[in-house]
Chains A and B, each alone.
Chain A
Amino acid sequence: MLQAHSLLWHYLWVAPNLLLLVLVFFIVKRGLTTQYSAFLAFAGLSAIAELAVYAADILPWVSPPEFWSTVRASLLIEGPVKFILIAAIFAQAFGAYPSLARLGKILIRAVGVFLVLTAALAAAYAQQDSPFANIAGVHVLEEAIYLIEAGLLVFIFSFSSYFRLSLSRPQFGIALGLGISACVHLATWAVAANAVLPPTKRVALDFVNMGTYHICVLIWFYYLLVPQKVEGITTVPSNAPSLDLGPQESLATWNRELERLIHQ
């Protein structure tokens, strides 16, 4: 079952990408193109790129060097699109609040620079897992992209959590799917790029990657297409008295307000 070119292998490679295209169709049909433009670009381009790699894998007339060139080209498309999507999530989540936007930009740029340098170091010290530079280069590139992606997403989650700022449901769903996918892929590509497993056993990593990606696509379906439950709104007590606030008394008054809120 867990063999290359088994039925499950074909399903796990093709189905998530077809599902992504279906998701793109539903989003466009619901008129949410502007709202999810970055995600649509990511979903559409990465699905097409992955399906092209799949076609290159199964078509008998595609030579191995051509296949690996296709893989590299797909990575060079998917990588920047993912970072554009992450930038869009960040901008939507924090851009609306001027008090945080500038600090956030400074921090995410610093984190980005740090991650790029770390990824470059990891690539420089990676063990070549293949005698062919083309193949080893693709594995190292995968590792680098997922390292940067995972780091940026962990930063976004940490930053929003520290400031108690909830991402909106679609932003959260997209970031969650991307984050899970990036972390699992980082682990598997780190194993692959550093020649930890023999080539015969490496197909197991493909199943882990493809299975995880399938789950992430289902997460995106859930968060982007299933409507959100209506949440309750916090209110102040109805019997609060009339107040006249002067500048000197404002803090003390707010404390009284807080006391009242607590004892409501």
Chain B
Amino acid sequence: MSLAIVLVVVAVLSLVVIFLFARSRSLQISEGASLAARIQPIDVEAFRNLIDPAEDEYLRRRLSGTEFRTVQRKRLRAMAAYVWTAGQNAGVLVRIGQHALAASDAQTVEAARQLVDNALLLRRNATFALLRIYIALAWPNSGLAAGQVLSGYERVNGSAMLLGRLQNPAAPVRIATW
């Protein structure tokens, strides 16, 4: 009897989850051009400083153990906010890329596919980086590993710009070196 109740509850919850995803999908389809407005710019220089190992080493040398841990926890929280935002931006770019996959131009479709793939990689790395940051909050002396997020951000940067320009050839761009 109790097993049946557990399974019925699991089934009902699963059904609710499926309906929620179905609803969110219909909202995604209708959101269209408003997607870009959801991107939140990141202060890249501040982010770069936060994940710079030299900064860590400098603070470790200058501060006492207790002070270092306090400061490091604050930095980790700030880093988590940046990484979370980068992950959210990646999610928006996945949707923008998926919308662009419907284009008729093969070059645009390829650029969109590349953007989606890079944004997915960034979102995946941001998830793992967030996990590491939360673990590091417990042990602030451990090394930090959000570098993958920054490199992923760079890759998505290139893909997003290429797609944007392909969708709008009126705005010329020269992508020199990466």
| Chain A residues in the interface with B (C-beta under 8 A) | 96-100, 103, 122, 125-127, 143, 147, 150-151, 153-154, 157-158, 160-161, 163-167, 172, 176, 179-180, 182-184, 186-187, 190-191, 193-194, 196, 230-247, 250-255, 257-259, 261-262, 264
Contact = CB atoms under 8 A, between A and B. Distances in A.
Interface of B: 1, 3-4, 7-8, 10-12, 14-15, 17-18, 21-22, 24-25, 28-29, 32-33, 35-37, 39, 41-42, 44-45, 89, 91-92, 94-96, 98-100, 102-103, 113, 116-118, 120-121, 123-124, 150, 153-154, 156-158, 160-161, 164-165, 167-168, 170-178
A253 B171 CA distance: 15
A239 B168 CA distance: 9
Contacts of A247: 177-178
B164 A99 contact: no
A254 B94 contact: no
Chain B interface mostly: helix
Contacts of A254: 153, 156-157, 160-161
A261 B161 CA distance: 11
Given A190-B4, A250-B158, A165 B120 contact: yes
A189 to B, nearest CB: 8
26 contacts: A96-B113, A97-B116, A99-B117, A99-B120, A125-B3, A158-B17, A163-B94, A163-B124, A165-B98, A166-B28, A166-B29, A183-B12, A186-B10, A187-B7, A232-B32, A235-B168, A236-B165, A238-B171, A239-B171, A240-B168, A244-B174, A245-B178, A251-B153, A253-B161, A255-B41, A255-B44
B174 A243 contact: yes
A116 B63 CA distance: 53
